[in-house]
């Protein structure tokens, strides 16, 4: 039978070592924040255990609570207040005093370990289930144990002592088995031990770690690769390390499915992004929101793509920004193009350098190759728009539509003063300002006739 587990997240601390005003649980991490990431992973345990979630808040509690209520209102979270932050042991004693939840076991973890995995938490549950222990913890072997509690296995009644950095002797500091800060404890055992903690240590805090270690009641299981799973974010450097690890993990998942990512250190992919096998992603690319990229497309360096669906065999050339748009098969966009919300770039279309589109539909095979603004427009199939074309879509009050038919040739440096409607097979001469509609097959030119005065240039040129 599944036991009832109450999961307690410690999130009351000040996070002084980060040096920012934002409370540590809300410090931005991987497009959300630290505590969001922790909760997202914990929720995955739901299929394996009956869980309830309790959050211990103190420093800036209103702000964190508001965030959690907005983002996890379906979880029925319990909030416990720790008014004075007297240590992790004190935080858990506040939980014991205030909780309304009744459970067999309590899992305790910290809001500042954003890389935890469901599998690691499952290994803790399994480890305890298969033992007669009252309290189990997860430990790992750290190349750099600095800052973590060292797991000192001693041969006395207290089978294990956890020694915090501040209290560690030079000898203790060499121990590289460290405490992840994640424990699973019988609720009855926790109740019995938590009141007995003292704060006789260098920090003057009540350490939760002091309840762990009694021989025959407590033990730690070491998790492989734990340094990458339990990284605790106390400093900005650790935040960067955690971001890098998360990015790498995300990229590896895509790489395993056949996506070619050239440099995972500089590839930023949001959780909801979908990428099909055969896609190639060059360095320094950001894929955000609900972006989808279909097979054999290539995203070249420096592109930032948000909420956009990109079809098959599409090429997005360097430094192109796409937002809330649809790109159909075989299109090519950029370099240095900006595709703003509501754009649809049709099959085999070409959008070239320094082109901006907004709320515009380019139908199959049309081309806007250089230096243009296409806003609130519809451009028909196989129409070619020359260099420096502008839709004058805004009259100072309202936006208006420009409709251009298929197989048109729109000469360079022309403008369309919207609303305006151009039929199919039209030809607009270069440098024209078009303000009236054209019927199918019309030719339009609207520019002043050239005046040439022979030999007169010298009047204007400096000697």
| Sites of contact with ligand UD1 (CB under 6 A) | 10-13, 56, 82, 85-88, 90-91, 110-113, 148-149, 162, 164, 178-181, 207-209, 232, 234
Q: Which is nearer to Ca ion, 117 or 401 (CB)?
A: 117
DSSP string of 51-115? Answer: EEEEEEE-TTHHHHHHHHHHH-GGG--EEEE-SS---HHHHHHHHHHH-----SEEEEEETT-TT
Tokens of 298: 């290539």
Q: Which is nearer to ligand UD1, 80 or 337 (CB)?
A: 80
Is 190 in contact with 212 (CB distance < 8 Å)?
no
β-pairing verdict for 267-269 and 367-375: unpaired
Which of 446, 404, 401 is closest to 425 using CA atoms?
404
Query: Nearest distance from residue 248's CB to ligand UD1, in Å?
Result: 20
Rule CB under 5 A: say whether 112 interacts with Ca ion.
Answer: yes
Q: Which is nearer to ligand UD1, 10 or 371 (CB)?
A: 10
Given Ca ion, ligand UD1, none, residue 164, with its beta carbon under 5 to 8 Å by kind, binds ligand UD1
Which of 384, 352, 358 is closest to 370 using CA atoms?
352
Given ligand UD1, Ca ion, none, residue 148, with its beta carbon under 5 to 8 Å by kind, binds ligand UD1
Per the annotation, the verdict on 400 as an active-site residue is no
Query: Nearest distance from residue 239's CB to Ca ion, in Å?
Result: 11
User: Can you tell me the distance from the alpha carbon of 401 to that of 360, in angstroms, rounded to the nearest whole number?
Assistant: 9
Query: What contacts 233, CB < 8 A, 6 or more positions away?
Result: 18, 24, 27, 29, 34, 112, 113, 114, 239, 242
Given Ca ion, ligand UD1, none, residue 189, with its beta carbon under 5 to 8 Å by kind, binds none
Q: Which is nearer to ligand UD1, 110 or 282 (CB)?
A: 110
The active-site residue out of 31, 48, 370, 400 is 370
Residue range at the interface with Ca ion (CB under 5 A); choices 36-44, 190-198, 231-239, 414-422: 231-239
> Burial level of 436, CB count in 10 A (0-12/13-18/19+)?
exposed
Among all residues, whose Cβ is closest to ligand UD1?
149
Binding residues among 242-281 for Ca ion as defined by CB under 5 A: none
Given Ca ion, ligand UD1, none, residue 386, with its beta carbon under 5 to 8 Å by kind, binds none
Tokens of 142: 């750290």
DSSP string of 202-263? Answer: TT----GGGGS-BTTTEEEEEPTTHHHHS----SHHHHHHHHHHHHHHHHHHHHHTT-EES-
Name the helix (H) or strand (E) containing 120. helix 118-129
Q: Which is nearer to ligand UD1, 11 or 349 (CB)?
A: 11
Query: Nearest distance from residue 229's CB to ligand UD1, in Å?
Result: 11
User: Can you tell me the distance from the alpha carbon of 415 to that of 90, in angstroms, rounded to the nearest whole number?
Assistant: 70
Query: Nearest distance from residue 264's CB to Ca ion, in Å?
Result: 26
Given Ca ion, ligand UD1, none, residue 353, with its beta carbon under 5 to 8 Å by kind, binds none
User: Can you tell me the distance from the alpha carbon of 177 to that of 162, in angstroms, rounded to the nearest whole number?
Assistant: 10
Binding characters for Ca ion, 143-162, by CB under 5 A (x = yes): --------------------
User: Can you tell me the distance from the alpha carbon of 264 to that of 255, in angstroms, rounded to the nearest whole number?
Assistant: 10
Phi, psi of 132 (to 5 degrees): -105, 20
Single residue of 25, 226, 232, 405 touching Ca ion by CB under 5 A? 232
Q: Which is nearer to Ca ion, 234 or 307 (CB)?
A: 234
Query: Nearest distance from residue 335's CB to Ca ion, in Å?
Result: 44
Q: Which is nearer to ligand UD1, 113 or 381 (CB)?
A: 113
Is 376 in contact with 404 (CB distance < 8 Å)?
no
Is 262 in contact with 285 (CB distance < 8 Å)?
no
Query: Nearest distance from residue 181's CB to ligand UD1, in Å?
Result: 3
For the chain, the straight-line distance linking the first and the last C-alpha, in angstroms and rounded, comes to 99
Query: Nearest distance from residue 11's CB to ligand UD1, in Å?
Result: 5
User: Can you tell me the distance from the alpha carbon of 338 to that of 426, in angstroms, rounded to the nearest whole number?
Assistant: 27
Helices (H) and strands (E) in the chain, counts: 7, 39
Q: Which is nearer to ligand UD1, 79 or 319 (CB)?
A: 79
Given ligand UD1, Ca ion, none, residue 149, with its beta carbon under 5 to 8 Å by kind, binds ligand UD1
Given ligand UD1, Ca ion, none, residue 111, with its beta carbon under 5 to 8 Å by kind, binds ligand UD1
Query: Nearest distance from residue 397's CB to ligand UD1, in Å?
Result: 53
Binding site for Ca ion (CB under 5 A): 112, 232, 234
Active site residues: 370
């Amino acid at each position: 039978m599944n036991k009832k587990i109450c999961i307690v997240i410690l999130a009351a601390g000040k996070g002084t070592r980060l040096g920012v005003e934002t409370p540590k649980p809300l410090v931005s991490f991987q497009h959300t924040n630290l505590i969001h990431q922790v909760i997202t992973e914990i929720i995955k345990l739901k299929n394996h255990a009956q869980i309830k979630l309790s959050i211990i808040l103190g420093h800036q509690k209103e702000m964190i609570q508001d965030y959690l209520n907005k983002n996890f209102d379906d979880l029925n979270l319990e909030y416990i207040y720790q008014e004075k932050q007297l240590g992790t042991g004190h935080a858990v004693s506040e939980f014991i005093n205030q909780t309304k939840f009744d459970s067999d076991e309590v899992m305790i973890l910290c809001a500042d370990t954003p890389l935890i995995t469901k599998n690691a938490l499952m290994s803790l549950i399994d480890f305890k289930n298969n033992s007669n222990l009252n309290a189990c913890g997860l430990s790992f072997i750290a190349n750099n144990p600095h800052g973590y509690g060292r797991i000192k296995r001693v041969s006395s009644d207290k089978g294990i002592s956890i020694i915090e950095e501040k209290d560690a002797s030079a000898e203790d500091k060499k121990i590289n088995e460290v405490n992840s800060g994640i424990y699973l404890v019988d609720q009855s055992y926790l109740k019995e031990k938590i009141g007995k903690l003292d704060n006789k240590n260098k920090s003057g805090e009540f350490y939760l770690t002091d309840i762990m270690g009694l021989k025959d009641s407590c033990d730690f299981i070491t998790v492989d690769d734990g340094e990458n799973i339990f990284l605790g974010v106390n400093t900005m450097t650790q935040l960067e390390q955690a971001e890098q690890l998360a990015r790498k993990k995300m990229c590896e998942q895509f790489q395993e499915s056949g996506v070619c990512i050239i440099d995972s250190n500089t590839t930023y992919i949001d959780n909801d992004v979908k990428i099909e096998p055969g896609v190639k992603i060059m360095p320094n690319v950001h894929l955000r929101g609900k972006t989808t990229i279909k097979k054999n497309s290539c995203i070249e360096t420096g592109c930032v793509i948000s909420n956009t669906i990109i079809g098959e065999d599409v090429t997005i050339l360097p430094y192109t920004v796409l937002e809330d748009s649809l790109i159909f098969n075989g299109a090519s966009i950029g370099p240095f193009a900006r595709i703003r919300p509501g754009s649809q770039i049709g099959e085999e279309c070409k959008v070239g350098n320094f082109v901006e589109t907004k709320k515009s539909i380019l139908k199959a095979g049309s081309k806007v190759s250089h230096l243009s603004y296409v806003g609130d427009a519809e451009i028909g199939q196989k129409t070619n728009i020359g260099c420096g074309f502008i839709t004058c879509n805004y009259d100072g009050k309202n936006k208006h539509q420009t409709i251009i038919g298929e197989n048109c040739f729109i000469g360079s440096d022309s403008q369309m003063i919207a609303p305006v409607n151009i039929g199919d097979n039209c030809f607009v001469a270069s440098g024209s300002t078009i303000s009236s509609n054209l019927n199918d097959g019309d030719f339009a030119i609207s520019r002043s006739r050239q005046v040439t005065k022979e030999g007169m240039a010298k009047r204007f040129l400096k000697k």
